[in-house]
Copies of this chain bind each other. A is one copy, B any other.
Amino acid sequence: MSAPIRYYYDLMSQPSRALLIIFRLSNMPFEDCVVALRNGEHLTDDYKREINRFQRVPCIHDNGYKLAESVAILRYLSAKGKIPEHLYPKYFVDQSRIDEFLEWQHMTLRLTCAMYFRTVWLEPLLTGKTPTEAKIEVMRMHMERNLDVVEEVWLEGKDFLTGNSLTVADIFAACEIEQTRMADYDVRIKYPKIRAWLKRVRQSCNPHYDVAHEFVYKISGTGPQAKL
């Protein structure tokens, strides 16, 4: 019997949370390898040589095979039969609709939510400087342009992003959007469909969703109930 995969992650990282939720929903055994980004544990030469040559999280080691990039990891584990088909289908046409979202998100939803979080929460913490209102406004505008697409295109006429049941697409998307809570952004105000969908995603994923978002809830000072 082969050893369980080693999963390197930090719950402050959006795709780390997404994979954690997916692994737990899939009942996939894994070895928990937490990497404290806040302590720069990913920046050492050892980490680069032994764990992940890109010095990021998440990544996995599967009996010596090292793989980075959350979507690549998901696809690899799906091919190994570790991810149930209702979360990531094997039939190529159904899979392509989910891949379309997973590829779409990087430079749109993920980038702009991450930039908003970075500008409003992370950079002030690291530099002690407050961003200007004008800069926050630009970041908010970029982010909302993509939240508009989630609300109006992806959630048009269906309960989840790619159909009427939860898939990995919803989990990746929700983890990106939840990140903005820590920057005090409340997505529920302008986006009723996103609000209702986030509730469905959380319910479909719990208790794992709340476990993955423990630090997000804590830092944002709001329990899941307060927000969703």
Give A71 Cβ to nearest chain B Cβ, in Å: 5
- Contact: A103 with B65, CB < 8 Å? no
Give A35 Cβ to nearest chain B Cβ, in Å: 18
**Which residues in window 133-160 of A have CB below 8 A to B?**
149, 153
Decide yes or no whether A106 CB sits under 8 A from chain B.
Answer: yes
The CA of A111 and the CA of B69, in the complex, are separated in Å by 16
Interface centre among A65, A80, A102, A104 (most CB of B within 10 A): A104
**Which residues in window 92-134 of A have CB below 8 A to B?**
92-93, 95-97, 99-100, 102-104, 106-107, 110-111
Query: Which residues of chain B are within 8 angstroms of A106 by Cβ–Cβ distance?
Result: 103, 106-107
Decide yes or no whether A215 CB sits under 8 A from chain B.
Answer: no
> What 0/1 pattern do residues 169 to 194 of A give for CB contact below 8 A with B?
00000000000000000000000000
**Which residues in window 169-223 of A have CB below 8 A to B?**
none
- Contact: B80 with A92, CB < 8 Å? yes
Contacts known (A103-B69, A104-B54, A106-B106); A96 close to B111, Cβ less than 8 A: no
Give A47 Cβ to nearest chain B Cβ, in Å: 14
Nearest B-chain residue to A103, judged by Cβ: B69
- Contact: B54 with A149, CB < 8 Å? yes
The CA of A123 and the CA of B120, in the complex, are separated in Å by 26
Decide yes or no whether A53 CB sits under 8 A from chain B.
Answer: yes
- Contact: B103 with A70, CB < 8 Å? yes
Contacts known (A72-B96, A79-B92); A107 close to B104, Cβ less than 8 A: no
Decide yes or no whether A75 CB sits under 8 A from chain B.
Answer: yes
Give A16 Cβ to nearest chain B Cβ, in Å: 14
Contacts known (A79-B92, A107-B107, A111-B111); A100 close to B53, Cβ less than 8 A: no
Binding site for B on A (CB under 8 A): 53-54, 65, 67-73, 75-76, 79-80, 92-93, 95-97, 99-100, 102-104, 106-107, 110-111, 149, 153
A69-B103, A76-B96 known, 15 other contacts, Cβ within 8 Å: A54-B149, A65-B93, A68-B100, A68-B104, A69-B100, A71-B103, A72-B103, A75-B92, A75-B95, A76-B93, A79-B92, A79-B95, A79-B96, A103-B106, A107-B110
7 A–B contacts from the bound complex (CB under 8 Å): A65-B93, A67-B96, A79-B92, A79-B96, A80-B92, A106-B106, A111-B111
